[in-house]
Amino acid sequence: MLDKIIPRLKEIEERVKELETSLASPEVTCDPSRLQQLAKERAALIPLLSAWEEYKKIVAETDEINQLEKEKSGDAEIVALYEEEKRHLALKKEMVEKRIEALLLDGTDQDKDRPAIVEIRAGTGGEEAALFVADLYRMYIKWAAERGLRVEVMNTNPTGRGGLKEVIFSVSGRGAFQSFKYESGTHRVQRVPETEASGRIHTSAVTVAVLPEPEAVEVDIKPEDLRIDVFRSSGPGGQHVNKTESAVRITHVPTGIVVSCQDEKSQYKNKAKAMRILSARIVEIRKKEEEAKRSKDRKSQVGSGDRSEKIRTYNFPDHRVTDHRIGLTVQNLANIMEGHLEPIFEALLKDERERTMVNGGKVA
C-alpha cells in the first residue's frame, strides 16, 4: 500500500466517526434533510472504510506471524507453515490494496449519477458572447444525446439575433452530473463575429455553472424566506407569453439568491422550475461552507471549479480547442462543437483519477 494513500484512509476513518456522532445527535435527527445528507455521505465512505479495516487486520496478522516465526526459528517445520501463511496473507493484502485503489479511483462522489442543473451566461463580448452561449447550449444538447441523457429546458433569455443572454437546463440519467461537472468555469471564444464587418477576431467569454440537483428532502426552504414576484414574459412566444403574467422571480431573502423562469406559459410550472434551481444553488452554498470548515484548502472537481476561472478556449480561426486545466489541445473544433466531447471528457476524467491516486484519494 502506498504511504500517501494511508493518511487519506485514516481521514475517512475519522470522518465516519464524526458522521456517526452527528447522526446520533438530536439536532440532526430532527432535521430530515440534514439526516439524509449525512447518511448518504456515510454510506459512500463505508466501502472504503471496510476495505481499510480489512487491510489493517491483514497487516496485524502478518506482524504477529513474523514475531512467532522469530520465536520458533529453530523449528523448520513450523517456520515452513508460517511462511505458507505469510504468502496467503500477502495475496489477500494485494487483493485488498487493489480494491482500495479501485474505490479511490471510482471516487466517493455521491453526486455523479444525480441530475445536473447547467447554467450558461454571456460574459464579456456583448452579442457575440450571447451567440456563443447558444453555440455551447447546442453543443451540450448533442453531448447529452450521445450519452443517452434527458435534457429539460428550465429558462432562457434570448436576444434579437439568435443568441442567448442566459440558458438554464437540467440533465438527467445515469452519470448526468459526472458528464457535465468538468464544464464549470469560464469558456473563452476567439473568432470573427457575424456582426464584425472588418473581419477582426474578437475574444468573448461565457460562464458555465454545473450544480447537482438535490432531492426535495435535502433542502428545507421556508415560505417566509421567499419573495415571489410575477411579471410578463419577454422574448419570442406569441401573444400569450407577452400578455400573461406567467413569468416568476423568486428571491431567497437569507442568501440573496434570485431565480427567474419564464419559458412556460403556466405560472405554476415556472415557479416549480425556479424552486428547483433555487434549491440546487442553496445546497451548493451550504456544501461549500461545510467543506471550508473541514479544510482551509478547498478541493474541487478540476482546478478550482470557480466560474471566474478560465478553463477552455475555442479558437475558430485555428480550428482548435484548448483546455487550460490539463494543457490539452484538440484540433478538430468543428467536431467538438457538434457535441463530440469525448476527447476532452476522457482526458479530464483520466487526469482526475491520476491526481486522486497521487494525492491519496483526494482530487487536488
What residues contact 108, with CB distance under 8 A and at least 6 apart? Answer: 44, 45, 48
d(CA 251, CA 255): 9
Domain ranges of the chain: 6-106, 116-216+305-358, 218-294
- Sheet bearing 247-252, strands edge to edge: 226-231, 247-252, 257-261
d(CA 353, CA 350): 5
CATH number of 116-216+305-358: 3.30.70.1660
Contact by Cβ (8 Å): 17, 45: no
HEC-encoded secondary structure of the chain: CCCCCHHHHHHHHHHHHHHHHHHCCHHHHCCHHHHHHHHHHHHHHHHHHHHHHHHHHHHHHHHHHHHHHHHCCCCHHHHHHHHHHHHHHHHHHHHHHHHHHHHHHHCCCCCCCCCEEEEEEECCCHHHHHHHHHHHHHHHHHHHHHCCCEEEEEEEEECCCCCEEEEEEEEECCCHHHHHHHHCEEEEEEECCCCCCCCCCEEEEEEEEEEECCCHHHCCCCHHHEEEEEECCCCCCHHHHHHCCCEEEEEECCCCEEEEECCCCCHHHHHHHHHHHHHHHHHHHHHHHHHHHHCCCCCCCCCCCCCCCEEEEEECCCCEEEECCCCEEECCHHHHHCCCCHHHHHHHHHHHHHHHHHCCCCCC
Torsion sign (Cα): 107, 110, 116, 122: negative
Phi-psi region at 175: left, alpha or beta (left = phi > 0; alpha = psi -120 to 50):
left
CATH number of 218-294: 3.30.160.20
Burial readout 302-332 (b: 16 or more C-beta within 10 A, e: otherwise): bbebebebebbbbbeeeebbbbbbbeeebee
Amino acid at 73: S
Contact by Cβ (8 Å): 261, 277: yes
d(CA 117, CA 306): 16
Q: Output the pLDDT for position 348.
A: 92
For residue 360, the Cα-to-chain-centroid distance in whole angstroms is 19
- pLDDT of the chain, 364 residues: tens digit per residue: 456 678 888 888 999 999 999 999 998 888 887 888 788 888 888 988 999 999 999 999 999 999 888 887 778 888 889 899 999 999 999 888 888 877 876 655 667 888 999 999 999 888 999 999 999 999 999 999 999 999 999 999 998 888 999 999 999 998 899 899 999 999 999 998 876 667 788 999 999 999 998 876 667 788 899 999 988 876 554 444 455 678 999 999 999 999 999 888 889 899 999 999 999 999 888 877 766 765 543 344 344 334 457 999 999 999 999 999 999 999 999 999 999 999 999 999 888 877 766 555 455 5
Q: Output the pLDDT for position 239.
A: 41
Contact by Cβ (8 Å): 280, 176: no
